[in-house]
Amino acid sequence: MHDYLRPGVTYTIEDFAWRARTALDEAGERVRAKYGFYCTSAAGSARCIEELAAARPPGATVQVLAMDPPPPRDSGGSSVTSARPPSLQLQEL
């Protein structure tokens, strides 16, 4: 997620949904490569985000307030690997 979203940044709902879907698809494919099956948690999260985005008016904006786990300081936020799925704290603007 850290490769696509940044805390403190405001995104249109369309851009946010695309970025989240792309990040979750990549995560699901990494699970498939390692374990032989796609990550159902990533698929479910992507579906949930798309449903929430579809319920908002076009051009609505959201701000990413926080991401947990936060990006590691030494990697600049890229290629984060965690044993648990990331969570986002958002604010609709």
CA distance 4 to 23: 6
Of residues 20 and 90, the one with the higher pLDDT is: 20
Range 4-17 average pLDDT: 95
64-70: long-range contacts (C-beta < 8 A, 24 or more apart)? 64/5, 64/6, 64/7, 64/8, 64/9, 64/11, 64/16, 64/88, 64/89, 64/90, 65/7, 65/8, 65/89, 65/90, 65/91, 66/7, 67/1, 67/2, 67/5, 67/7, 70/7
Of residues 39 and 91, the one with the higher pLDDT is: 39
Chain-wide mean pLDDT for the chain?
84
The answer, yes or no, to whether residue 80 has pLDDT greater than 70, is: no
